[in-house]
Chains A and B, each alone.
Chain A
Amino acid sequence: MSSAEALALEVRDLVAGYGDYPVVDGVSLKVPQGKVVAVAGPNGAGKSTLLKAILGLVRVLSGTVLLGGEDVTGVALEKLARLGVGYVPQLDDVFDSLKVIENLEMGGYLCDRVERQRRIESVLEVFPVLRSKLHRYAETLSGGERKMTAIARVLMLDPKVLVLDEPTASLSPEMSRVVLEEQVRPLSRMGKSVLLVEQKAVAALEVADWACLMVRGKVEVSAPAAEVLGDPNMREIFLGRSTSQAAAEVAGTE
């Protein structure tokens, strides 16, 4: 990653966890403007806890989170939204008891009515499929439609940085690729900076510019995504083997 690139989000030596137990142990990463950074790793690596710490949902024990150079460590989620950080959680990613249109309106909660309406039109141009589903309750949507609604909702915020926690969780492999290729990849083309946590590592790295591979709360590899995908050794250790095998491999090299 070039040091000249403007950073949308930067994490420095972050230690975070539940109680006094650090699940995330000294993680540093950078998300340049307009780029997709994928954080991959086995179950229990601390990926989701890392995101929650960045978003102020988990206690930060030490370290710093910088948004556009400004320290936002431990800042509340609703304030981060006002500062331009959009968040799509892993599972409960839409308002089930609200209609799709109401989900979009909540995404644009911080705008006035005219701007909100303009953004709804703009988001529907990106996701035209949603136009026919605007008056359906979100709990009646399929997995792919839910994810589309979730990403459309977060785009209503017009965020500078999007934080996506396993957007393909509970989706079939085919639908996972559709979500990553057709919903996540275009985000960087829209100028958004994306921090993507994903367990389906290969699929995630295929749409990412940069890869951070986490094992046991630490970033073990930080490199261009294409480089990781093209390196047979790294691919085998981190992307092609089971959770326990990868963890054991890293533990053996420490």
Chain B
Amino acid sequence: MHLLVQSIGFGVAAGAVLSLGAVGFTLQFGISNVLNIAYGALMSIGAFLGLFMLGLGLNIWVAMVLGGLAVGACSVLLNRGLITPLVRKGMQPFGLVIVSVSAGIVLEYVIVAVAGPATQSYGNLSGATLNFLGWTLTTAQVVIFGIAVLLMVGLHLLLTRTQLGRAMRATSSNRTLARSCGIATSRISDIAWFMSGTFCGMAGIALAITIESFDFTLGSIFLIPMIAAAVLGGVGQPYGAMIGGLVVGVVSSVSSAYWDPAYQSVVAFGIIIVMLLVRPRGLFGSSSATRKLLA
């Protein structure tokens, strides 16, 4: 029983990082309708920017914010420099997926060219051990969970209480109709790519804090569970991705406790398959969102 409780605690902590990444991934997809596989490489860039800023002597939490913003800027550049021009030329979604896969590989090898292929580590930033609800967690895990919750609440308030957030939801729901209301959807798209990149970069740094070592493939490996979380919650649904991240995190952690941890990815893939079979729209996806995804 203790093992189960403890693994749930670890799962919640890991799920917070997953949620951060999955929300960014799904937010950008929901607005631009582009499945950005380069997202994993952007996450790796975030982790390496964190390492660079730690080397400059910056506090890790400050580095997390600055690294996130820098990756947000990279994400906008990726959209403006590559994706949008191809969309304007009429490239179909499948072509865009291939382009984003290629861009991801190029970005990973840019990291290798700059930082080398060796594994890296932030060192021990875990902090003191805390006991809570029968869970034993590190201070870093608790702070990351708190940051994730704050960002989710902030995103919720943005989407529901501000005209910008409603315009983002409107653009996600029906881009042409949003344009007919006078909404500058290309600007909304830039904002979505920026926010998505920021969440992605922060998730990359958060992940690097919680693991012993990482290399340039960090984000690509983490991409599958993030997509699983997004699919579970309903692709294009930020709230769904929040819950999906926690569920995938907890299920993966519990399965690792009782099964070989090497099968964690199998659990993530299994969740995608079962969810697509049982409820293709995901936990929170509407039928219109599904139509949009399948269109």
Contacts and interface: CB of A to CB of B under 8 A. Distances in A.
A106 B184 contact: no
Contacts of A107: 181
A109 B177 contact: no
Interface in B158-172: 163, 166-167, 169-170, 172
A105 interface: yes
A81 B176 CA distance: 12
Interface in B176-194: 176-185
A88 to B, nearest CB: 8
Given A95-B174, A98-B170, A78 B179 contact: yes
A107 B181 CA distance: 5
A89 B176 contact: yes
B288 interface: yes
B185 A78 contact: yes
B177 A92 contact: yes
A217 interface: no
B286 interface: yes
B180 A87 contact: yes
Q: How large is the interface on B (under 10, 10 to 19, 20 to 34, 35 or more residues)?
A: 20 to 34
Given A81-B180, A87-B180, A139-B287, A106 B185 contact: no
B286 A102 contact: no
A95 B184 CA distance: 16
A92 B174 contact: yes
Contacts of B182: 78, 81-82, 109-110, 157
B33 to A, nearest CB: 14
B289 interface: yes
A109 B163 contact: yes
B286 A96 contact: yes
Given A89-B177, A139-B288, A106 B183 contact: yes
Nearest to A112: B163
B256 interface: no
Contact of B183 (A57, A102, A109): A109
Contact of A105 (B166, B179, B287): B166
Nearest to B180: A87
A109 B289 contact: no
20 contacts: A77-B179, A78-B182, A78-B184, A80-B180, A82-B182, A89-B177, A95-B170, A95-B174, A97-B169, A97-B172, A97-B286, A97-B288, A98-B170, A102-B169, A105-B166, A106-B181, A109-B183, A110-B181, A139-B288, A157-B181
Q: How large is the interface on A (under 10, 10 to 19, 20 to 34, 35 or more residues)?
A: 20 to 34
A157 B247 CA distance: 43
Contacts of A96: 173-174, 286, 288
B181 A81 contact: yes
Nearest to A82: B182
A105 B288 CA distance: 21
Interface centre among B167, B172, B179, B181 (most CB of A within 10 A): B181
A80 B184 CA distance: 12
Contact of B179 (A76, A94, A157): A76
Contacts of A102: 166, 169-170
Interface of B: 163, 166-167, 169-170, 172-174, 176-185, 286-289
A95 B286 CA distance: 12
Interface centre among A96, A105, A107 (most CB of B within 10 A): A96
A99 B225 CA distance: 32
Contacts of A109: 163, 167, 181-183
A34 B183 CA distance: 26
Contacts of A76: 179
A52 to B, nearest CB: 10
Given A78-B185, A139-B286, A98 B166 contact: yes
A183 B182 CA distance: 23
Nearest to A97: B173
Contacts of B286: 96-97, 139
Interface in A61-119: 76-78, 80-82, 86-87, 89, 92-98, 102, 105-107, 109-110
B173 A95 contact: yes
A166 to B, nearest CB: 15
Contacts of A81: 179-182
Contacts of A106: 166-167, 170, 178, 181, 183
B244 to A, nearest CB: 18
Given A105-B163, A105-B166, A106-B170, A97 B289 contact: yes
Closest 3 A/B residue pairs (Cβ): A81-B182, A87-B180, A77-B179
Contacts of B180: 55, 77-78, 80-81, 86-87, 89, 154
A81 B167 CA distance: 15
Contacts of B185: 78
B164 to A, nearest CB: 10
Given A78-B182, A81-B182, A105-B163, A98 B177 contact: no
